[in-house]
Amino acid sequence: MGILKPYSHLVGYLHRWKIVSIGRFRIRIHHILDVDRTPFLHSHPFHYVSIILKGGYTEQVLNPDEKISEVKNGIGTFILRKANRFHRIKTLHGKSCVTLFFAFQTPGWDLKRHPEITCDGYFEHPDGMYQKQQMFQKRFDGKWFIPNPDRVIAENETRLSIHQNIAPDHINLI
């Protein structure tokens, strides 16, 4: 049995492997495969430390004054960030990036739009309930929530979905 256990990969975007999980403390390896392809900045459900082991990325970080800063992170960069700090990956340095990720669990995560950020290929949808194959998904206040095969559960969902860019031909407003 190996030390690395796959942990909730996000296909085409981020592969994650768990090394340690003790209470609210986690150590993982993150393999970042793609940039954030939505205009949303995101926070995390944890305070974290990330050390870049391979590659790197440029991120957009929301400052306390609500202005955006661009930060370049390369091999050996040590990032210490609180859960409520919003950011997004703008560009990868090379084809991908590998980080050693230490997380200290806190409740929830969030998304935030900023007027300076736009994305080619991002699809806007009106708020409402959508059906995607056998799943129902709510869009409210411009954000997608976790889908569910039960429409009532989906309508009452309060947890945001990590997937915020859904092509119009993959869903139907119901």
pLDDT value, residue 62: 96
Whole-angstrom Cα distance, residue 18 to residue 6? 6
Read off the pLDDT band of 85 (50, 70, 90).
Answer: very high
Number of domains in the chain: 2
| pLDDT higher than threshold 90 for residue 87 | yes
Provide the domain limits for residue 105: 5-113
Q: What mean pLDDT value characterizes the chain? A: 90
Same-domain pairing of 27 and 109: yes
Same-domain pairing of 105 and 162: no
pLDDT value, residue 1: 40
Same-domain pairing of 66 and 139: no
What CATH number corresponds to the domain at position 82? 2.60.120.10
Global pTM reads: 0.79
Same-domain pairing of 108 and 159: no
Helix (H, G, I), strand (E, B) or coil at 113: strand
Q: How much of the chain is helix, strand and coil, in % rounded to 5?
A: 5, 50, 45
As to burial, measured by CB atoms within 10 angstroms (0-12 exposed, 13-18 middle, 19+ buried), residue 29 is middle
Torsion of CA 78, 79, 80, 84, to 10 degrees: -170
The pair of structure tokens assigned to 110 is 């969030």
- Are the C-beta atoms of 107 and 58 separated by less than 8 Å? no
| pLDDT higher than threshold 50 for residue 37 | yes
Please say which residue of 113, 147, 163 terminates a domain.
113
pLDDT value, residue 2: 56
